C-alpha cells in the first residue's frame, strides 16, 4: 500500500478518530457509573463515538468549504451544508450503520468481559470496531473517488 494513500487516509480520518475515541470512552465510562449493564454501556460507547466522530467530520468538511468560499468572499450556504451532509452519508452511511448498530456495540460488550478490565476492554473493543469500520469506509471512499462520485464542492 503506497505511503501516499496512508497519509491521505490519516489526514482525512485521524482527527475524527481521536475525538471519537475520547467520546466513546467517556460515554461508556459515564454510563458505567450509573449502570453495570454491559449491553447498555456498549451502545452508549458506540453512540458517544458516533457523535464525536461524525461531528468532527462535519466540522472538517464545513471548514474546508468555508476556507474555499472565503477566497471568493462568500459564506457557507444551506446548499453547501446539504452537499456536505450528502457526501458524509455516501462515504460513511453503510459502514456507519453496520458499525454503529451491530459490530461496535458487540466489540464494546465482548472485550471488557474477555479482558476482565473495563477501560482496557472498551479501548480494545473500540479498536476492533475501527478495523471493520475502516475496511468498509476506505473501500467506499476509494470506489466513489475513482468513479468521480466523491468530489466535495467542486
Q: Give the SS3 label for residue 80.
A: helix
Q: Count how many Cα atoms sit within 13 Å of the Cα of residue 145 in the half-sphere of its side chain.
A: 10
Question: Could you give the number of structural domains in the chain?
Answer: 1
Asked if residue 135 lies in contact with residue 143, where contact means CB atoms within 8 angstroms, the answer is no
Range of the domain at 89: 3-146
Domain assignment present for residue 112? The answer is yes
Structural domain includes residue 154: no
pLDDT tens track for 111-142:
999 999 988 998 899 899 999 998 988 888 88
| 152 in a structural domain | no
- The pLDDT tens digits for 39-75 are 999 899 989 999 999 999 999 999 989 888 888 888 8
Question: 109: burial class by Cβ within 10 Å (0-12, 13-18, 19+)?
Answer: buried
More confident residue, 152 or 9: 9
Query: How high does pLDDT run on average in the chain?
Result: 88
Q: Is residue 14 part of a domain?
A: yes
Residue 137 lies in a domain: yes
Q: Is 76 part of a structural domain of the chain?
A: yes
Percent of the chain clearing pLDDT 70 (strictly above): 95
Residues in contact with 111: Cβ distance below 8 Å, sequence separation at least 6, in sequence order: 121, 122, 124, 125, 128
Q: Is 153 among the domain residues?
A: no
7, 74 in Cβ contact below 8 A?
no
- Does residue 36 lie within any of the structural domains? yes
Query: How many residues appear in the chain?
Result: 154
* Predicted model pTM: 0.83
Amino acid at each position: 500500500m503506497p505511503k501516499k494513500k496512508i497519509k491521505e487516509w490519516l489526514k482525512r480520518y485521524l482527527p475524527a478518530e481521536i475525538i471519537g475515541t475520547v467520546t466513546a470512552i467517556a460515554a461508556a465510562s459515564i454510563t458505567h457509573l450509573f449502570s453495570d449493564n454491559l449491553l447498555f454501556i456498549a451502545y452508549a460507547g458506540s453512540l458517544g463515538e458516533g457523535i464525536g466522530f461524525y461531528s468532527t467530520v462535519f466540522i472538517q468538511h464545513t471548514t474546508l468549504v468555508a476556507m474555499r468560499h472565503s477566497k471568493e468572499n462568500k459564506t457557507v450556504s444551506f446548499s453547501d451544508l446539504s452537499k456536505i451532509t450528502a457526501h458524509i452519508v455516501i462515504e460513511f452511511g453503510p459502514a456507519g450503520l453496520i458499525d454503529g448498530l451491530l459490530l461496535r456495540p458487540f466489540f464494546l460488550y465482548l472485550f471488557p468481559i474477555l479482558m476482565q478490565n473495563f477501560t482496557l476492554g472498551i479501548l480494545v473493543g473500540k479498536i476492533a470496531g475501527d478495523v471493520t469500520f475502516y475496511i468498509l469506509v476506505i473501500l467506499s471512499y476509494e470506489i466513489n473517488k475513482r468513479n468521480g462520485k466523491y468530489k466535495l464542492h467542486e
